[in-house]
Structure 1
Amino acid sequence: MNILLRGYRESDLSQMTEIWNEVVEEGIAFPQTDVLDASGAKAFFASQSHCGVAVDADSGALAGLYILHPNNVGRCGHICNASYAVNSGLRGRHIGEKLVTDCMKQAKALGFRILQFNAVVKTNAAARSLYERLGFTQLGTIPGGFLMRNGTYEDICPYYHEL
């Protein structure tokens, strides 16, 4: 699989929405509880500072995506936040790593100085391992900070990386 990373195009929206909604419906990683419809997805992705997609160069299919946006405003506006989604059938192929690495480059190019993840679910071992391998620092643990799909609460671990 030959993965290329680029900014999203309007023609990507259907596949982006499908991948995004898959993660939302799993209910173990994203804070959102509602899936996106076509018009909501168009507005949501357009509102980000940057959306990157991982594309299989051979088939043209989207393998994953990320959204990048400010984490706060004003005096904290130099800190950004991002979310990543990989097609469930393609996980484990280092696509997430390519997305995070590209996101860090895009964030720096946009003038952000810090990339912060507010709510990495403690049991999301793959994401936590990736972030730590890429040099992110865990800030601590927030007990019961994430409502899982099954109704239980899981700890979250905020992370940051200076860009």
Structure 2
Amino acid sequence: MLIREATTEDWPAVWPFFRQIVAAGETFTYPTDLGRDEARDWWLLGAPDRTVVAVDEDGAVLGTAKMNRNHMGNGSHIASASYMVDPAHAGQGVGRALAEYTVEWARAAGYRAMQFNAVVETNAAAVHLYRSLGFEVVGTLREGFRHPKLGYVGLHIMYLML
């Protein structure tokens, strides 16, 4: 697997699984009816932020991550990231590779920490992955997320000192 800078030419490969994940409404706080162009503008970030794709040896997109500062001004020393893995490639280490990549990017860029603002507590795979990388839950907004199957569940704020 190769992780490389995403381009607008990657969007047609990212959009189908992006749409599927967002429309399911189980893991992201994005509007479930988010349109293709608006989604592209939200996901494909320009410098100094960054968006990458994980591709296989044939160049097929397996997943994607976006990295950015979490806040502006005096909080701009804290990074954040978001990840989407094509469900057809779930459980193959794509998410871990992307998460490790973003942590290293944040370190290299001089960020002091990473913070995830809204990790759905029922997204057990993501919570487990982030904890395995050293993130800790520093707070949970009870009933902060309306899960389409489970009702109101918590949103974790997860944090990693770099």
Give the TM-score normalised by the residue count of structure 2.
0.90
Once the two structures are aligned, what percentage of the paired residues are identical? 33
Q: Distance in 2 between matches of 1:143 and 1:41?
A: 27
- What is the number of equivalent residue pairs in this alignment? 159
Letter of the structure 2 residue corresponding to residue 22 of structure 1: Q
For 1:43 and 1:143, the matched residues in 2 are separated by 30
1:125 maps to which residue? 124
Given candidates 5, 8, 19, the residue that maps to 1:7 is 5
Q: 8 Å contact 2:45–2:66 — kept in the other structure? A: no
Looking at structure 1, the residues matched to 40 and 135 of structure 2 have their Cα atoms a distance apart, in angstroms, of: 31
Q: Which residue of 2 aligns with 1:52?
A: 52
- Following superposition, the deviation at residue 154 of structure 1 comes to 0.8
1:111 and 2:110 equivalent? yes
Match of 1:23, SS? helix
C-alpha distance in structure 2 between counterparts of 1:147 and 1:105, whole Å: 32
Are 1:152 and 2:151 an aligned pair? Answer: yes
| Structure 1: gaps spanning 5 or more residues | none
Deviation at 1:43, TM superposition (A): 2.6
Distance in 2 (CA, whole Å) between partners of 1:51 and 1:109 is 15
How far off is 1:7 after superposition? 1.0
CA distance in 2, matches of 1:36, 1:80: 26
Mark the CA change 1:46 to 1:117 in structure 2 (over 3 Å): closer, same or farther. Answer: closer
Partner of 1:40: 38
Q: Report what 1:67 is aligned to.
A: 66
- Distance in structure 1 (CA, Å) of the matches to 2:66 and 2:35: 14
Secondary structure of residue in 2 paired with 1:139: strand
1:41 and 1:25 map into 2 onto residues whose CA distance is 12
Deviation at 1:150, TM superposition (A): 4.5
Residues 90-110 of structure 1 deviation map (CA, whole Å, 9 limit, x = unaligned):
101111000000011112222
Distance in 2 between residues matched to 1:149 and 1:106, nearest whole Å: 34
Task: Tell me the alpha carbon deviations over residues 22-49 of structure 1, each in whole angstroms, 9 at most, x when there is no partner.
Answer: 2101101111013231x32443213471
Q: 2-side partners of 1:81 and 1:32: how far apart?
A: 16
Aligned to 1:134: 133
What TM-score do you get using the length of structure 1 for normalisation?
0.89
Contact 1:17 1:36 in 2 (8 A): no
